[in-house]
């Protein structure tokens, strides 16, 4: 399952991806998706295309699995490795963009990034795409706000 919590539109490029496809039920078995557009907050179930994952040996490293993602607003494409539970940082740059005069200089020059958080949950691989800043809604004890 891939979750987009970036606040930006993410496009999963499945056309040339040998590793992943959209998980389909029996009624949709004839459909083949070339790309999936994930709006902020959306998620999509994925399945591994290769059937050989059941035959892994203990002494061999797991096969390399990569998910091809494009951030639409920034026109930035990347390959995200997802063969193990891990967090990775990917720098995002706005190609060909000029400095916006309405934004303070420090905010305009700050680097942007994407974090892929791959987690194994309930026996299934969960891929979370998120930004560097993560806001939690939990309150501290004694906080009356």
Stretch (H or E) spanning 125: strand 124-131
**What pLDDT score was predicted for residue 57?**
65
Distances (CA, A) of 131 to 100, 106, 111: 21, 18, 11
Which residues make beta-bridge pairs with 20? 48
Residue 144 has pLDDT above 50, yes or no: yes
**What pLDDT score was predicted for residue 125?**
87
**What pLDDT score was predicted for residue 36?**
94
- Contact between 114 and 77 (Cβ < 8 Å): no
pLDDT in tens, 72-101: 988 899 999 998 889 999 988 755 455 455
**What band does 135 get if pLDDT is binned at 50, 70 and 90?**
low
If DSSP codes are grouped into helix, strand and coil, which group holds residue 55? helix
- Cβ contacts of residue 116 below 8 Å, gap of 6+? 80, 82, 86, 87, 88, 90, 127, 128, 129
**What pLDDT score was predicted for residue 13?**
94
Could you give the CA distance from residue 87 to residue 90 in angstroms, rounded to a whole number? 10
Residue 105 has pLDDT above 70, yes or no: no
**What pLDDT score was predicted for residue 28?**
66
**What pLDDT score was predicted for residue 55?**
57
Question: Which residue bears the tokens 């699995």?
Answer: 65
**Higher model confidence: residue 125 or residue 44?**
44
Domain definitions of the chain by residue range: 2-51+62-92+103-131
Give alpha helix (H) positions in the chain: 105-109
């Amino acid at each position: 399952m891939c979750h987009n919590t970036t606040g930006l539109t993410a496009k999963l490029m499945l056309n040339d991806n040998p590793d992943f496809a959209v998980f389909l039920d029996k009624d949709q078995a004839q459909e083949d998706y070339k790309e999936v557009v994930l709006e902020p907050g959306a998620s999509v179930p994925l399945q591994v295309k290769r059937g050989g994952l059941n035959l892994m040996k203990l002494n061999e490293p797991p096969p390399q699995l990569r998910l091809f993602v494009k951030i639409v607003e920034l026109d930035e494409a990347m390959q995200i490795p997802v063969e193990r539970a891990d967090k990775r940082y990917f720098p995002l740059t706005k190609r060909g963009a000029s400095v916006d005069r309405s934004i303070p200089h420090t905010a305009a020059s700050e680097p942007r990034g994407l974090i892929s958080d791959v987690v194994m949950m309930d026996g299934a691989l969960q891929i979370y795409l998120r930004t560097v800043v993560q806001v939690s809604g939990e309150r501290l004890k004694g906080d009356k706000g």
